[in-house]
Structure 1
Amino acid sequence: MIQVCSRCGTRWNVRDRERQVCPRCQGALMAPAAPGAEWSGPQGRGPAGGPPRLPPGYRWIAVRPGAPPPPRARRRPLGPTPRYATIPRWGLVEHFDAVDTSATQTRTGPSPNAVRTTLMVTMAVLGVTAAVHALRYLLLLINRTTLLNPLVAGAATWLGVALSVASAFLVVGSIVLLTNWLIARRGAAYGYRGQSDPREPLRIRLGCLVPFVNLFFAPVYTLELAAVENRTSTMRRPIIVWWILWVLSTVVSVFSIATSFTTDPQAIADNTVVTTIAYLMALATLLVAHRVVAGFEQAPVSRPVKRWVMVPDDDAAADADADAHADDTPDPQVGAQSGGPVESRGQDPAA
């Protein structure tokens, strides 16, 4: 027995018991009919043995076996659209943390002014020391034929010794200051790129302060700094020149110290000349070192060395020229078929 719901049109197989209410929509069920009775008549079969055609007002639906599914919960109404008399500000406010500009950044190494001042004072003392030794050599030449005043001879000798001691202390102090500057600069360069210096500060100090060892390691550490800051192309030459002068100055200084214990008058004069040259070469070495430091300090670590400049693109200009003559260019398909343009460029085609 089949009963059809008058509301939702669902067909229910009630078997041998008649029902009055639809289990799905609670609508009234129509009178029962035998299975297939409603399909009898001329509309019972479809064309060419296909599925039977339904009478008007009926449709096929898929119903799962068993109890009917629970009814769907209806969405509650959202209510009226909110309206505001003014523009709401609750979503347009941005809070920015105030930056304390009064707070100064701590610098771990010596300042560039301190390095520059120390190098200038050291170079000045080296220049005066070289001049005093040159004057002493001149007095030695005069002393070959004329007896010098003991005060003049003593003043020239002890003034040279005092200036030599002062120069030695200033040179050592300059090397220590330059080492501290190199460590701080390397730390800042690697820190700006989110890395840590692969060489420990103690290792850098030993490589820059131990005599004869620093002749190799200190320039290498400086070249590494130039590579980190992308300044190798501009700083390689000053660093190499400083390296060569430092090696030559060390060789001359060692030779001057080794020959300073002689007592022969001619050997003393020769040692005075060598000592004067050693001080001049030390002065040149510090001058080039000052140039290297100034080259690094021209721009801070956080400022990029490369500057991008807009230049005209040749390809873009060529494309613009091609677009300007687009009307004079024949169709590529036609040109491919005919082998080339028929009309000359800039002339109207023939009628």
Structure 2
Amino acid sequence: MPSPPRPRRRRLAPTPSYASVPGWGLIEPPREEDAATDPVAESTDALTRAMWLVAVVLAAASAVHVVRYVIAVINRSRPIPVWIDWLSSIAVLVFGLMALVGVVVATVSFGRWVREIRTRSFESAGFTDPRRRIVVLALSVIPLVNVIGAPWLLHEAAVVDRIGDGGRRFRVGIRLAAAWAIVNAVALLAFAYRIAAWTTDSLQTDADALALVAGSLAVSALFAWWAVPRVERLAGFAEDTDISEPRRLVAA
């Protein structure tokens, strides 16, 4: 018997062609971590968080020194238990170290913030920062040197930036610089008095040194709290409320 005829194969349609590669469902949105980030915003956020933290630590250290001062005053007229003396001494040491670490972290964050502010200002004007990074960090981080160095670095950035704000940011910078100079002067006085107290056995001198250190820590904590919104204003991330609305005198 003849074999049955084979079924005919259907003719396939021509392979489609496209002028461009189709992108049906192939578009992948960029990941958040791949998006460009603003280094000034990051450094400002890191600096303000460090300043809030150091304000709390300095306030706690000031309170501990006040307690130690009260104990020293009481000890002038009557003896105190040994355990209270040891406990208060350890508390002063621990909170003093915590304050020192907090100040170092905030100072390093400040140096990075100054560097990013200068980079943004010079790049927006079409230039590169003429000062080396190590010089910027040294002028903004080294104690006492940054009393003059940091305001001068920010002043150079403001001159290049030429922000049309009527000089409000310049006035904010002047106030920050003046307050920072006062904080350093008080801290230097307390440090010198504390060194002098270590060279004498006078309980009164020791108590006065504790009072000065407590006051210096309180002033530093207040400055850190006060400076946070002003740092954000200098960076351009806070509303400027420096100038109040003009008032008119109306005759009754």
- Scaled by the length of structure 2, what TM-score is found? 0.72
Secondary structure of the residue aligned to 2:77 is coil
Match of 1:258 among 192, 195, 200: 192
**Aligned partners of 2:158 and 2:233: how far apart in 1?**
10
Following the alignment from structure 2 to structure 1, what is the Cα–Cα distance between the partners of residues 92 and 128? 46
Offset of 1:118 from its aligned partner?
Answer: 1.1
Alpha-carbon distance in structure 1 between the residues aligned to 2:133 and 2:82: 51
Encode CA deviations 1:16-47: one digit per residue, 9 max, x unaligned. Answer: xxxxxxxxxxxxxxxxxxxxxxxxxxxxxxxx
| Structure 1 spans left out of the alignment, 5+ residues | 1-97, 301-351
> d(CA) in 2 for partners of 1:286 and 1:209?
16
Q: 1:21-40 counterparts in 2 under 5 A?
A: none
The 1:182/1:149 distance shift into structure 2, 3 A limit, reads: same
Name the CA distance, whole Å, in 2 between partners of 1:298 and 1:122: 23
**2:85 paired residue number:** 153
| Contact kept in structure 2, 1:238 and 1:291, CA below 8 Å | no
- Change beyond 3 A, Cα 1:138–1:221: same
Offset at residue 179 of structure 1 (A): 0.8
- Say if 2:111 is the partner of 1:173: no
Letter of the structure 2 residue corresponding to residue 283 of structure 1: A
Task: Give the 3 Å change call, closer, same or farther, for CA 254–298 of structure 1 in structure 2.
Answer: same
In structure 1, what is the Cα distance between the partners aligned to 2:74 and 2:166? 51
RMSD over aligned Cα, in angstroms?
Answer: 2.5
Q: TM-score if structure 1 supplies the norm length?
A: 0.53
Q: CA deviation at 1:298?
A: 4.1
Tell me how far apart the structure 1 counterparts of residues 209 and 179 of structure 2 sit (CA, whole Å): 20
Contact between 1:127 and 1:280, CA under 8 Å: does it hold in 2?
Answer: yes
SS in 1 for 2:79: coil
Secondary structure at 1:198's aligned position in 2?
A: coil
Displacement of 1:100 after TM fit?
6.7
Q: Give CA deviations for 1:64-101 in whole Å, capped at 9, x if unaligned.
A: xxxxxxxxxxxxxxxxxxxxxxxxxxxxxxxxxx9975
Distance, in Å, in 1 between the alignment partners of 2:166 and 2:136 is 20
Which of 49, 59, 75 does residue 143 from structure 1 map onto?
Answer: 75
Is residue 2:38 matched to residue 1:104? no
Aligned-partner Cα distance in 1 for 2:74–2:111: 44
Larger Rg: 1
Q: After alignment, is 274-283 or 109-118 more displaced?
A: 109-118
Aligned-pair CA distance for 1:107: 4.8
Paired residue for 1:316? none
Q: Percent identity?
A: 20
Q: Give the helix-richer structure, 1 or 2.
A: 2
Q: 1:120 aligns with which of 52, 62, 78?
A: 52
Counterpart residue number, 1:268 = 206
Find out whether 1:224 has 2:156 as its counterpart.
Answer: yes
Equivalences for 1:1-351 in 2 at 5 Å? 102=31, 103-108=34-39, 110-227=42-159, 228=161, 230=163, 231=165, 233-260=167-194, 261=198, 262-299=200-237
Deviation at 1:163, TM superposition (A): 0.9
Q: Which protein, 1 or 2, shows the higher relative CO under an 8 Å CA cutoff with sep ≥ 6?
A: 2
Change over 3 Å in CA distance of 1:251–1:101 after alignment to 2: same
